Structure 1
Amino acid sequence: MSDPIEQAALNARLMTPIAAIVDKQRATLAPMLHGGTGQAAQAALRDDECVRKIATFCYPLLPGLVRLAVKEPTFVSFILNNREKVLAPLTRPA
């Protein structure tokens, strides 16, 4: 998936549902980032295993049609590659 057009299409399909999930599941996701605020959360965002855990948690929460179009390994890879943009709201206080 190195094609920029493919990557842009994936971004368009995933960003809206992911933003909704992150907003709705903030209380569940924040502890996965070691408290969800401050330096610990920033360090957790740099930890691939921590981000992978959050992506794995979020994947089943995506709308069914998105899950049909985007398989879990692709979704996890997307989150790992876009972690700052996707998960940044978790590092700020509610």
Structure 2
Amino acid sequence: MSEASEQAGLGDKLAGPLNAIIDKKRSELLPLLVGGAGQATQAALRNDECVRKVATFCYPLLPGLVRLAVKEPVFVNFVMNNRERVLGRLAQQAAA
């Protein structure tokens, strides 16, 4: 299996649980991005440290079976590589 198809499969499996976590924990995640709900912007998504904090916060909240299959460094790497798709909705709603 090629690396591109593995990444696509991983994205499909992680996107749903991660979006559910973002929806449930929005008030806790926004301060990790920039320091407040009103300050989360697209610039925060470009800040590696902010995105890494969000990924590290979300990993323990994933379902247990997902955590067994996907280790934390792989998950953090997934979030870093897909930050616009994964966290874009969080920043858009915060800016509104």
TM-score computed with the length of structure 1 as normaliser: 0.89
**1:29-83 residue CA offsets vs partner (Å, 9 max, x unmatched):** 0111223456x52111111011001000000000000000000000000000000
Opposite residue 54 of structure 1, the aligned amino acid is V
Look up the match of 1:41: 41
Unaligned stretches of 5+ residues in structure 1 = none
Change over 3 Å in CA distance of 1:25–1:18 after alignment to 2: same
Deviation for aligned residue 1:85: 0.5
TM-score computed with the length of structure 2 as normaliser: 0.87
Kept after mapping to 1: 8 A contact 2:41/2:92: no
Q: Which runs of 4+ in 1 moved over 4 A?
A: none
- Report the Cα distance in structure 2 between the residues aligned to 1:90 and 1:79, rounded to whole angstroms: 13
Kept after mapping to 2: 8 A contact 1:19/1:86: yes
Unaligned stretches of 5+ residues in structure 2 = none
- Report the Cα distance in structure 2 between the residues aligned to 1:93 and 1:64, rounded to whole angstroms: 28
Between the aligned residues of both structures, percent identity stands at: 63
